[in-house]
Structure 1
Amino acid sequence: MSAAAVGLSHSPLIGKNDPTPDVLTRVDEAIAGARQFVHDFDPELVVLYAPDHYNGFFYKEMPPFCLATEAHAVGDFGSQAGALSVDSVSAKALIRGVLDRNVDLTTSARMIVDHGFVQPLEVLFGGIDQVPVVPVFINGVATPLGPVSRIRALGTAIGEAAAELDKRVLFLGSGGLSHDPPVPVLDGAPPRVADALIEGHPPTPEQRLRGEERVVQAGRDYAAGSTSMIPINPTWDNQLLDILESGSLAEFDSWTVDWMGAQGGGSAHEVRTWIAAFASLAASGPYQMRSRFYEAIPEWIAGFAVATASSTPST
């Protein structure tokens, strides 16, 4: 097996509340580089780690992570809706491999996913049905959250199991770095909101539109400075990228849930997807980061990053 990894931030505000043209140019250049990297690697399988934003996973059953043998996208924020091209044979092999490595794993035979999964497939491959994929949900929002060491263990187990497939495998982590968007919280929520977070009643088109409009307005308020959201933290974001680049992933085991939230905001735990992806790559041996881009983008309420890496050839 040959392995590579890409970390790519997502935001529902892309194209709806954009930064200045010079920032967009830098982002576009970084994404173009990642797209070329993926094209050159030519993956036979993509293991996609991504969070959910209360579109597919709810408090009625909220696993820390879940691997799908089938997945369908809801099409939120204008993202593509429909079935992902899930490689169910590889997915089932990974499930067996992870369980054999003593990592408890929730599975889904029909996962519902949102823009967190869809955006990287659209950006890097042109759609949700262009490449065989195994979707892996990583909870980065719904408390309580487990230790980061378990995410690293999951990524390692999936990476080791993927090595047995004898394929070119791309491990793709989708998530913002520091960001604190207006995500609902179960504790203290009014009964109507709490019921929606627990039961997961599908919103009507009108309800979805109103919710998306609130997020867009929050991005505008954030960029204008009139908000109580935790600021983007470039220092923390680059500390994360430094550790990923060094390959010293065990350093993440000391990162506590509360500290991460204080440093990076309520949705900073989406970086768990990056940690899982790079842990999967590291399971094949030493790797080298091939490109690294970072920009704090208030308009997208995100510390936005793009990184690529591949295994270091043995000598």
Structure 2
Amino acid sequence: MSLALVCMSHSPLLDFAEPPKEVSAAVDDAFARARDFVSAFDPTLVVSFAPDHYNGFFYDLMPPFCIGYEAHAVGDYGTSAGPLDVPSTVAEQLAQHVIDHDVDVAISRRMEIDHGAVQPLEILFGGIDTVATIPVFVNGVARPFTRMRRIRHLGQAVGSFLAGLDERVLVIGSGGLSHDPPVPQWATATDQQRAMLLDGRHPTAAARDARQQRVIDTAREFAAGRAPIRDLNPEWDQHLLDVLVSGDLARLDTMTPEQMTVDAGNSAHEVRTWVAAFSALAAAGDYDVTSCFYRPIPELIAGFGVTTARPRTGPTGRD
């Protein structure tokens, strides 16, 4: 077994927004470095920790985390639609191992995923079915949120399972960092919005386009300083990155959902995917972060980060 990690922000606006050219170039360079890192590692299996944005998981049943035995991408914001290549037997073994290690994880034999899980696969591999992938949903938008230590425990359990595989495993964390896009909150939602949050599966093309256009319009207003959403918080983002780089992940246990929302926005909870991914990597021992990009990008409504990491000892590429 050998492990490597890529954590990255995603944004539905990547193909719809126009940040300054130097910002776009910097993001493209960070993606290119991550691709080179992954290409050198040449993974045989991917475990992807990712959130959802009310495209696959809804309030009719909202688990804190869920392992997919099969998965289908819904194709929102122009991302790929279709099935992932999920090794179902390995996914089943992973779920049993996680449960045996006192983390009560849900499972799905028909998981639907959106751009949050798809974008990293497209950016790193050029498609969603080029490498065997086990998707692990981590709730990052829908209250109530589990404590951060439970996210660490999830990652640790996943990592201890991966340690027993004869595979080169790339662990992905997708989401964050600070951002507050116009995702409805149940407490303040209209009746129409609540219907979507409860079960908005398989919307019409017109309904999906309208929902996506609202996000695109909000991003333009936010970049112009006019949108009524929380500002990005680079200091909060940098502190999180510093802790992840340090390896002392237990420091994150003090983070509370309430304060995360105040400090970094309603969707900052997506950083749970990073915590799970780094915790999985840490299960193999000390690690080194080999690259770390960060930029607050209003046009993407995101504090945008891309990191790569690998264990301090052991294989780092093809066996």
- Asked if the contact 1:57–1:200 (Cα under 8 Å) also holds between the matched residues in 2, the reply is no
Residue of structure 2 equivalent to 1:89: 89
Residue of structure 1 equivalent to 2:287: 287
Q: Does 1:184 align with 2:184?
A: yes
Residue of structure 2 equivalent to 1:141: 141
SS of the aligned residue for 1:16 comes to coil
Q: Does 1:30 align with 2:50?
A: no
- Measure the CA separation in 1 of the matches of 2:79 and 2:70: 18
1:1-315 aligned at under 5 Å gives the runs 1-313=1-313
Which whole-Å deviations, capped at 9, do the CAs of 1:70-96 have from their partners, x for residues lacking one?
000110000000001111122111111
Assess, with a 3 A threshold, how the Cα gap between structure 1 residues 2 and 201 changes in structure 2: closer, same or farther: closer
Which whole-Å deviations, capped at 9, do the CAs of 1:116-152 have from their partners, x for residues lacking one?
0110000000000111100000000001111111111
Backbone CA RMSD of aligned residues: 0.9
Which whole-Å deviations, capped at 9, do the CAs of 1:146-180 have from their partners, x for residues lacking one?
11111110000000011111211111000020000
The range that moved more, 102-111 or 191-200, is: 191-200
- Measure the CA separation in 1 of the matches of 2:223 and 2:300: 8
- Asked if the contact 1:90–1:165 (Cα under 8 Å) also holds between the matched residues in 2, the reply is no
Which whole-Å deviations, capped at 9, do the CAs of 1:90-113 have from their partners, x for residues lacking one?
211111111111110100001000
- Asked if the contact 1:145–1:257 (Cα under 8 Å) also holds between the matched residues in 2, the reply is yes
Give the counterpart letter for 1:208 in structure 2: R
SS of the aligned residue for 2:270 comes to helix
> Displacement, 1:188?
3.3
SS of the aligned residue for 1:67 comes to strand
- Asked if the contact 2:56–2:201 (Cα under 8 Å) also holds between the matched residues in 1, the reply is no
SS of the aligned residue for 2:43 comes to coil
> Displacement, 1:190?
2.3
Assess, with a 3 A threshold, how the Cα gap between structure 1 residues 201 and 89 changes in structure 2: closer, same or farther: closer
- Asked if the contact 1:94–1:161 (Cα under 8 Å) also holds between the matched residues in 2, the reply is yes
Percent of aligned positions with the same letter in both sequences? 53
- Measure the CA separation in 2 of the matches of 1:236 and 1:166: 38
SS of the aligned residue for 2:288 comes to strand
Residue of structure 1 equivalent to 2:317: none
- Measure the CA separation in 2 of the matches of 1:74 and 1:297: 26
- Measure the CA separation in 1 of the matches of 2:176 and 2:116: 9
- Measure the CA separation in 2 of the matches of 1:263 and 1:101: 32
Assess, with a 3 A threshold, how the Cα gap between structure 1 residues 290 and 201 changes in structure 2: closer, same or farther: closer
Which whole-Å deviations, capped at 9, do the CAs of 1:237-290 have from their partners, x for residues lacking one?
010100000000000101011111111100000000000000000001110000
> Displacement, 1:201?
4.0
- Asked if the contact 2:45–2:169 (Cα under 8 Å) also holds between the matched residues in 1, the reply is yes
Give the counterpart letter for 1:57 in structure 2: F
SS of the aligned residue for 1:275 comes to helix
Name the TM-score, length of structure 2 as normaliser. Answer: 0.97
- Measure the CA separation in 2 of the matches of 1:304 and 1:201: 28
- Measure the CA separation in 2 of the matches of 1:298 and 1:117: 22
> Displacement, 1:191?
2.1
- Measure the CA separation in 2 of the matches of 1:311 and 1:4: 7
Stretches of structure 1 lacking an aligned partner (at least 5 in a row): none
> Displacement, 1:199?
2.4
Which whole-Å deviations, capped at 9, do the CAs of 1:35-77 have from their partners, x for residues lacking one?
0000111111110000000000000100000000100011000
Query: What is the number of equivalent residue pairs in this alignment?
Result: 314
The range that moved more, 88-97 or 73-82, is: 88-97
SS of the aligned residue for 2:72 comes to strand
- Measure the CA separation in 2 of the matches of 1:188 and 1:275: 29
- Measure the CA separation in 2 of the matches of 1:243 and 1:17: 30
Give the counterpart letter for 2:242 in structure 1: D
